[in-house]
A and B are shown apart, each in its own frame.
Chain A
Amino acid sequence: MKLDRNFAAQKYVLHPTRKKDMETMHLPFPRDWNPENLNLPQNWKEIALAKLDELRGKYRELQLFLDICVACGACADKCPFFIGTNDPHNMPVARQELLRSVYRRYFTTAGKLFHGLAGGRELDEDLIRQWYVYFYQCSQCRRCAVFCPYGIDTAVFTMAAREVMSAIGLTPRSLTESIAKCEIVGNHMGMQPAAMLNSISFAEQEIKEETGVDVHVPVNKKGAEVFFLVPSADYFGEPHWHTFKGYLKLFHRIGLDYTMSTYASEGGNFGTWLNYEHMKKLNRKITAEARRLGVKWILGGECGHMWRVLHSYMGTMNVNSDFLEEPVSPVTGTHFRIAQHSKTVHICEFTADLIRHEKIPLDPGKNKEFKVTFSDSCNPARFMGLIEEPRYILRNVCPNYVELDPSVNRERTICCTAGGGLLADETLPLRLRAIKPKIDAIRESQANFLALICAIDKAVYPEYLKHYDLPVQVGGVHELVSNALVMT
């Protein structure tokens, strides 16, 4: 591996939040700024250091990781953004060092006395500018943590650094544009309730045309057993849409008592990538709506970071999901043990369980034109261990299923490289470089259908594949389930 000392990745920097959105979201120091002229408040340094001190006082994992890295370099060439750019700051350990050096300088005795000699670094505008570049070139995918002998997780540093930056008014438009919409309308797309209803009835019509079956989708239905939650791209995105119809057909086929909601119309949570406060704020509507509708448990669609929040954070975030019950499949009676804590079940677990109990008639022949492969998404794989279920489903609904090279898949996956707020046009050249190892694996597999379980994956892969000139169709796992499902 070689290093590019010109710091090539510096040019991929996200556009700043608009003043209007900063005001809407009540972000501190609403103002016009850009990455060259940060236009920081006068006392930004004190605010930033106070915030960092607060965070390291609050989170065990952060203080621990600040202390124990021995810089062995095991993680260095594991970050897709380093692989794509050879920029030394994109080595996970170097990315962490941007924050750790500040910690050493201001919060350790050796750093206070010896500054640079003790590995400390002044927090100045140049450094904070680097933070804004490089902490927004981490998709928090945790691939580095898999290879670290201690499991040190760069996502912990990235989250902390972003929290500090948002306290001094440095946030990217790619996140805040969606968060602002979500906080007002309820979803990242800014889709009003009527538009969502339209979209659902459009899906009902399409299913009727395709299968001749009348499917009715319950919305805002009180007393339903299950609350079904999807990322908002599913309502109209391409290819998300086909997956969405797949869920609806499946629920109709098994007669599930469920409801969707126009209030909690978004499962995704871009707040996760900005700071804890906004993550919490966006998440709150989900538990609130589940409580209002009186459902027993939550079933969630194919999404990436939505699952990170639901599975790993929700249980300790907006406190009480105690009013929910332990999820039990009404069709098979299976208790979903992995969901005991969060009371939310991933659609792939749910469907895999249906297939295992032979509760849905499937005709894999319907997918015989496809040679299907599956790319793991970082959040379901590394944040909740959902690795076997999608594969089990795919083997049952497709006659031709092939695996990708496990060195860039399963728990070691390089996925969309567009998570963590990087989904913006200005990072496209960066993402195209970062995704290359995965694209090579897909090419090698000779598949013609790439199955995915993440809304961002589905949004970006068509673009990537086109760029790399790979004639592969992209779709959700439940799009293939939908094809194979025998409707009556």
Chain B
Amino acid sequence: MEPYVVAIAWILPYFTIAIFVGGLSFKSMNWLRRRMLVKWALYPVPTSGPGRIECLLVEIFTLRSLSKTSKGLWIGSLTFHAALILIILGHIRVFSAAPDYLMKQAGMTSIDTLSLVAGGAAGLAIVIAAVYLLARRVSIPYVRDISTVSDYLDILLLMAVFMSGDYMRFFSRVTLDETRAFFMSLAYFAPRPPPGDPAFILHFLVAQIFLMYLPFSKLVHFLGQLVNQKIVVTA
């Protein structure tokens, strides 16, 4: 194996995991260890407990505030995040055969077709949504005004991850058996060679850079959202 493949596939993953998990824990603890000295409920807030939880979940899963703001931005980000969730769920199959097994037990036979259709669609949709969000940032004067270098960096990095992933899915011959064997070997600290296709190494590298960068960027908003939605419904 080439030394760079060893570095990317055998050594870096352990750092990636440590930095990703450590970074996210640090970030969330950094918020949670500070107290709420005053209340910041943003009314109207339901008076009942379950009502508040519903309010919180609706906001998280439908981005209701954005729907009141700008339909374009709302549809763009909803598409982006929904596709992202599908892709993350789909990636469980990359690491483990368990989902396949469970789905077979449930009587589903055409798992690969489902994966190809839903996963493929999500992979394309997310690139389109990302391009839209980037175009919006560049083309609308006031959004360009408030954008910083990191805003562009975030979206470009994301697009690199998605596009390398899509390339691998549509144009390379990396198989799930190969990836599963590789990731299992990493999990047992007995690394075996990764799938040989360069497309895999490329996607794996960009994805790892992204994961290490995420906790320290604005993209950590997905965790902050949970913290703040609790603040705004706590009366």
Which residues of A pack against B, CB within 8 Å? 1-3, 57-61, 63-65, 67-78, 88, 91, 93-94, 97, 109-110, 117-119, 142, 145-153, 156, 311-313, 315-317, 337-338, 341, 381-385, 387, 411-412
Contacts and interface: CB of A to CB of B under 8 A. Distances in A.
B43 A118 contact: no
A61 B36 contact: yes
Interface of B: 27, 30-32, 34-45, 47, 59, 63, 65-66, 68-70, 73, 77, 140-143, 145-151, 154, 216, 218-221, 224-225, 227-229, 231-232, 235
A384 B32 CA distance: 24
A2 B140 CA distance: 10
Give the one of A65, A69, A72, A88 with max B CB within 10 A: A72
A69 B218 contact: yes
10 contacts: A58-B37, A61-B228, A67-B31, A71-B151, A76-B142, A76-B146, A91-B146, A147-B68, A153-B40, A412-B68
B31 A151 contact: no
Given A57-B34, A93-B146, A387-B44, A149 B65 contact: yes
B39 A312 contact: yes
A interface SS class: helix
A313 B148 contact: no
Contacts of B38: 312-313, 316-317
Please name the 4 residue pairs, one residue from A and one from B, whose CB atoms are nearest each other, closest first: A385-B43, A68-B224, A119-B148, A60-B34
A72 B229 contact: no
Nearest to B39: A312
Contacts, number: 159
Nearest to B68: A147
Nearest to A116: B149
A76 B73 CA distance: 13
B231 A382 contact: no
Given A61-B231, A71-B148, A385 B45 contact: yes
A469 to B, nearest CB: 32
Contacts of A76: 142-143, 146
Contacts of A411: 43-44
B73 A153 contact: no
B39 A146 contact: no
B66 A94 contact: no
Contacts of B151: 70-71
B65 to A, nearest CB: 5
A65 B219 CA distance: 13
A68 B77 CA distance: 16
B37 to A, nearest CB: 6
Nearest to A410: B44
B34 A58 contact: yes
Contacts of B219: 70
Given A110-B216, A150-B221, A63 B31 contact: yes
B150 to A, nearest CB: 6
B142 A59 contact: no
A146 B31 CA distance: 22
